[in-house]
Amino acid sequence: MKVLILNGSPHKNGSTAYIINKIKEKLNAEIDEWILYKENISPCIDCGYCNKNEGCAIKDKAQELYNDDYDILILASPVYMYNVTPPCFSLITRLNMIWRNSHFLNIEHNFHTKKGILVLVGGGNGEPKHALDMANLLFKFLNVEFDINTDYIYSLKTDTVPVQEDKNLDKLIDRATEKINEKL
């Protein structure tokens, strides 16, 4: 069983990293973490390749996501402008290939069913509504099961309550990771 973590924070020791480290301590599995601010994954450039050909023309790390060789997907992002951070969004745009291959070419990418966890961290500037929509889109494309009642870990007032002092957090982490460990 392999866990893939998509880390969308620019901060090595920030709030998102703090939560990711706590999750890692709880999971008994092989873990691969992509630091998206360092991976330089291109956004979709609408080149049209996937309208006429199988797959994506851009040969970067996003291709590994298409390989579908992991069992748990964790998206962990700070909230920026109510959304996930730009490198998360860039990666998500690369999934448009899946829709276009299906729509224009009848090529279906049948990704196997997997479990998901969403981690969102915000300073406290409103609800992360677009981030939730974006995460759901990512999970839908990649056939990730995600239940917001059990698989959502959040700390959304870091400007006033530092993540280390968020009393709700341990409970959320335990709930989500215990569910994953049952499957491992």
Ligand X SMILES: Cc1cc2nc3c(=O)[nH]c(=O)nc-3n(C[C@H](O)[C@H](O)[C@H](O)COP(=O)(O)O)c2cc1C
Residues that bind ligand X (CB under 6 A): 9-11, 14-16, 78-82, 121-126, 156, 158
Query: Checking phi first, is residue 115 left (phi over 0); if not, alpha (psi -120 to 50) or beta?
Result: beta
Kindly tell me which of 76 and 98 has the beta carbon lying closer to ligand X.
76
Min dist CB 13 to ligand X, Å, is 8
Kindly tell me which of 10 and 43 has the beta carbon lying closer to ligand X.
10
**Minimal CB distance residue for ligand X:** 14
Residues in the chain: 184
Min dist CB 182 to ligand X, Å, is 28
Kindly tell me which of 78 and 116 has the beta carbon lying closer to ligand X.
78
**Alpha-carbon distance 14 to 120, whole Å?**
12
Kindly tell me which of 48 and 162 has the beta carbon lying closer to ligand X.
162
Kindly tell me which of 43 and 123 has the beta carbon lying closer to ligand X.
123
Min dist CB 105 to ligand X, Å, is 37
Min dist CB 153 to ligand X, Å, is 13
Min dist CB 58 to ligand X, Å, is 26
Whose tokens are 């959502």? That residue is 152
Pairing of strands 72-78, 2-7: parallel
Q: CB within 8 A of 156, min separation 6: which ones? A: 79, 120, 121, 122, 124, 128
Q: In sequence order, what DSSP letters do the residues of 149-180 get, joined into one string?
A: TTSEEEE--TTTS-GGG-TTHHHHHHHHHHHH
